[in-house]
A and B are shown apart, each in its own frame.
Chain A
Amino acid sequence: MNLHEYQGKELFSKFGLPVSKNTVIASADDAVNACRDIGGNKWVVKAQVHAGGRGKAGGVKLVSTPEEAVEFANHWLGKRLITYQTDSNGQLVNSILVEECTDIAKELYLSAVVDRGTQRIVFIGSSEGGVNIEEVAENTPEKIIYEPIDPLTGPMDFQSRKISKVLGLDGEQSKQFSKMLPQLTDLFVTHDLSLLEINPLVITQGGKLHCLDAKINIDSNAIYRQPEIQAMHDPSQEDPRESEAALNDLSYVSLDGNIGCMVNGAGLAMGTMDTIKYFDGSPANFLDVGGTATQDRVSKAFKLILADPEVRVVLVNIFGGIVRCDLIAEGILAAIKEVGVSIPVVVRLEGNNADIGSNILAKSSAEIVSLNNLEDAAKKAVELSK
């Protein structure tokens, strides 16, 4: 799960990390008060969406009068911001962060991730901030440090000194960073983060470290024990079908093709998409219906798939493991009847009692093509999609 920048900064504040004085507004009318409350004569206004690249897309602006802030809010609230990280529809702007303007002396990069290789939380720091870190890693790897944190010891002072050196911090800033590193680790562990990124971490004109941005992702597996984070969930930033799927405990990702896919198991679901592509078709979605593929789950899955107007044919690929295929076939028929599916459905059943299952489907009056072999099923689905 992703958080907005303003939510990330709330968490930063809570853990003692330096962020700018700010107010988040959901109405342009509040912009003037927000600027007054913050004080000063320059403010930064930032559209809040779950995507990077906002600056280049016009979603961030430096303003020098409250009226300009109102104008910015009027322009963006309720509109969709399209950046290089969003799809062509962009993300809905529901709120604007109004911030005190920070005078920047230098921009740095700092992030923390769960690294699969070292199997540790790893801090990544670079003296090159405000830019695409992948490019820095590619072109000037010597400017990046990767520092893994031992779960037994937590972050140590010597590690903070190592990172400070690569960031190019002076003595006072290093001292400040040695406080920030444990605070960031504490935040990461307390709230089950999978990614924390501050790009840029800046040195202000006054010589202090300051978190100018906040990107936070939370481990979905741990959401159950993060009530505070659950309350920050913003469904408006997600594909509505993906949110709906998540509510029904289905794993769904929408794609731009026209062959709806319903598969049991994530790996096989990806494999099915690949197979469709291999035969020159185009998958409309990834959908893992889960190991059991009961009528209820299959019905919900059909509803999701059919909510996509592009879908012309549905390919159901079920490897019946423990659950018998004849039961799955009956579930599929009942679901098709319940949902009222009017486009062709190609079903491939494999596993226990696959023959009986296929017979049940073949005999039904519905527009179902039942094939035991994935190759034939995928080819048929592609043919029907053209």
Chain B
Amino acid sequence: MSILVDKNTRLLVQGFTGSQATLHSEQSIEYGTNIVGGVTPGKGGQTHLSVPVFNSVHEAVEAVQPNASIIFVPAKFCKDSILEAADAGIKLIICITEGVPTLDMLIVKKRVDELGITLIGPNCPGIITPGEAKLGIMPGSIHLEGSVGIISRSGTLTYEAVKQTSDLGLGQSTCVGIGGDPIPGTSFIDVLKMMESDDQTKAIVMVGEIGGTAEEEAAEFIKNNISKPVISYIAGQTAPAGKRMGHAGAIIAGGKGTAADKIKKLEECGVHIAENLLQIGKKAKEVLD
């Protein structure tokens, strides 16, 4: 078993014919993901990467019945693309694009919540269930089918956690990049719930970073609701206050959102802390052994 995606996932790609979407769709297909079509307004009727291109998500839904969509359109069009997929009835939407205005996300998040849709991202690497399907931009080759569920606000940092757990032979059940924006579609808590009820997941790695209080809220949730061991690493222990560290959400503002606060809270709630990013895999192995 796994969460969110598997071999049966029928994926639609929005912004399909663009260069990034093309590159990553090729890689996903190679990994075994079932891409059933794509959308690029104005290019409907063409064939791209051996699957049909549609002018709208609605047309694609009627013709090829996707049950998940991945979005690569430029930031200024993401609000429209996410709401289009939602309107067309797609229940799992992954937005890879970085730079979506926060106020757009306030509206989008309210709408997808009302419709009971799972939105992953924006500004995220996507989801992968090793050996089943890859819906994202992560390098498939570093993954290994296994028992560790990984949730992360950061892309390349997730790859580190993946590589370490693969090298130690633990492998991953599902990896979800929830993205580095202040208003993510899916929170740590949403994914923790799913991983708690997934048989394949034996331990959970939660990679957080400075900014906001998502890790603190997750810590409280873990204490009360998660029976599986959780290992956490928080990036940005050396980050200065008041500066945005790349990700829109990674900023220590008004003295809040420091790594030290997060680590303290996580420890209090029984989470195993990887003091350094080099220890994520080792910690997971220790906990599982």
- The answer to whether A and B assemble together is yes
Known A-B contacts A319-B159, A321-B156, A352-B139; A267 and B209 likewise in contact (beta carbons under 8 Å): yes
A278 close to B106 (CB less than 8 A): no
> B223-247, CB under 8 A of A: which get 1 and which 0?
0000000000101111110111111
- Please, which residues of chain A bring their CB within 8 A of the CB of B276? 274-275, 278
Is the CB of B207 closer than 8 A to any CB of chain A? Answer: yes
Count of chain B residues with Cβ under 8 Å from any Cβ of A? 63
A191 to chain B, nearest CB (A): 10
Is the CB of B46 closer than 8 A to any CB of chain A? Answer: no
Is the CB of B23 closer than 8 A to any CB of chain A? Answer: yes
Known A-B contacts A274-B235, A275-B278; A321 and B138 likewise in contact (beta carbons under 8 Å): yes
Cα distance, A146 to B248, chains bound together (Å): 23
B125 to chain A, nearest CB (A): 8
Residue numbers of B with Cβ under 8 A of A are 23-24, 27, 75-76, 99-104, 106-107, 109-110, 137-139, 141-142, 152-160, 163, 180, 182-183, 207, 209-210, 212-214, 217, 233, 235-240, 242-250, 254-255, 259, 275-278
B235 close to A270 (CB less than 8 A): yes
B139 close to A322 (CB less than 8 A): yes
Known A-B contacts A351-B139, A352-B141; A266 and B250 likewise in contact (beta carbons under 8 Å): yes
- Please, which residues of chain B bring their CB within 8 A of the CB of A321? 137-139, 155-156, 159
> A228-247, CB under 8 A of B: which get 1 and which 0?
00000000000000000000
A322 close to B23 (CB less than 8 A): yes
Q: With a 10 A CB-CB cut-off, give which of B207, B212, B243 has the most chain A CB atoms.
A: B243
CB contacts between A and B, total, < 8 Å: 171
Cα distance, A219 to B259, chains bound together (Å): 23
B152 close to A374 (CB less than 8 A): no
Considering the complex, which residues of chain A in the window 269-303 have a beta carbon less than 8 Å from any beta carbon of chain B?
269-271, 273-278, 283, 286, 288, 291
Is the CB of A265 closer than 8 A to any CB of chain B? Answer: yes
B130 to chain A, nearest CB (A): 15
- CB closest residue in chain B, given A242: B243
Looking at chain A's contact residues, the main secondary structure is: mixed
Known A-B contacts A219-B101, A268-B160, A374-B278; A322 and B27 likewise in contact (beta carbons under 8 Å): yes
A267 close to B76 (CB less than 8 A): no
B154 close to A266 (CB less than 8 A): yes
Cα distance, A116 to B71, chains bound together (Å): 23
- Please, which residues of chain B bring their CB within 8 A of the CB of A291? 137, 155
- CB closest residue in chain B, given A194: B102
Is the CB of A37 closer than 8 A to any CB of chain B? Answer: no
Stretch at the interface among A9-17, A117-125, A207-215: A117-125
- CB closest residue in chain B, given A273: B238
A367 to chain B, nearest CB (A): 25
B106 close to A267 (CB less than 8 A): no
B183 close to A114 (CB less than 8 A): yes
A119 close to B106 (CB less than 8 A): yes
Given pairs A219-B248, A267-B152, 4 additional interface contacts (CB within 8 A): A152-B110, A270-B239, A319-B163, A374-B277
- Please, which residues of chain A bring their CB within 8 A of the CB of B259? 274
Residue from A152, A220, A274 within 8 A of B238 (CB atoms):
A274
- CB closest residue in chain B, given A278: B276
Known A-B contacts A352-B141, A374-B278; A267 and B183 likewise in contact (beta carbons under 8 Å): no
